[in-house]
Amino acid sequence: MRSIREIPEAERPRERLAQRGPGGLTAAELIGLIWGSGSGSRGVSAVDLAEEALARHDGLTGLARASDLELEAIPGVGAAKAAQLAAAFELGRRLLADWPAGRWTIRSPIDVADRLILQMGRLEREELRIVLLNTKNVVLRVATVYQGNVSSSLVRVGELFRDAVRLSASGVILVHNHPSGDPTPSPDDIHLTAEALAAGRLLDIDVLDHLVIGHDAYVSLRDRGVAFDRPGSRG
């Protein structure tokens, strides 16, 4: 591996950033810019160190899900670089959460899962979120309504619809995670879905789906035909 001084100036990440912009850099080069320097003791550049980290975790997605201890276990990374990388990935997750209203339209369960699985898939405790939609299935807001044990006996159904009523939402999608990593719906999940559907009918707010998020997968209860009258989504 080469040290940063051995890389031709035109190939160094900072120079390439100035020439091509961030979109022209590889994932390893972007991580190298975050880290700033490589491992002096090993004589490797920050980009080489990033490439090694990406290879160990099967790419960017795996690296984003790695714990601090797993990152620190990579020779040359250490606590400081692990913290820098964790902070960068967290900023990315928060950017997804703060996506401007009116730019996120839901057409299928994967549209929800793609955005929330990175935020919720590795949470250490359960969270129940509700995606609020207008009549065109454009997201108005994603609100966290419960943290802890998401049980039908503990979650107040009225809390699920509080923001929906306030924002005059036409439909909602329930989303919660299983910290175990297994997204298989539990009897409590099914019961909560049935209660939400009943309450939604009274309030004239469509409950379009209930997604259960695992570590790397999700289950749509509507697609499974669980609790819902029929598969499919609102047209």
Whether residue 227 lies inside any domain: the answer is no
**What does pTM read for this prediction?**
0.63
Same domain for 8 and 72, yes or no, is yes
Same domain for 30 and 80, yes or no, is yes
Same domain for 89 and 17, yes or no, is yes
Percent of the chain clearing pLDDT 70 (strictly above)? 81
Cβ-Cβ contacts under 8 Å for 200 (sequence gap 6 or more): 161, 172, 206, 207
pLDDT tier for residue 146 given thresholds of 50, 70 and 90: confident
Whether residue 126 lies inside any domain: the answer is yes
User: Which run of H or E residues covers position 45?
Assistant: none
Same domain for 65 and 114, yes or no, is no
pLDDT tens digits, one per residue of 178-227: 999 999 999 999 999 999 999 999 999 999 999 999 988 999 999 988 87
Same domain for 126 and 204, yes or no, is yes
Same domain for 34 and 130, yes or no, is no
CATH number, domain containing residue 145? 3.40.140.10
- Residue 1, pLDDT > 80, answer no
Whether residue 234 lies inside any domain: the answer is no
Same domain for 92 and 113, yes or no, is no
State how far the Cα of 67 lies from the Cα of 5, in Å rounded to an integer: 31
Tokens of 165: 């009523």
Structural domain including 30 reads 4-97
Pick from 58, 73, 97: which residue ends a domain? Answer: 97
State how far the Cα of 212 lies from the Cα of 198, in Å rounded to an integer: 19
At 160 the three-state DSSP class reads: helix
Name the domain count of the chain: 2
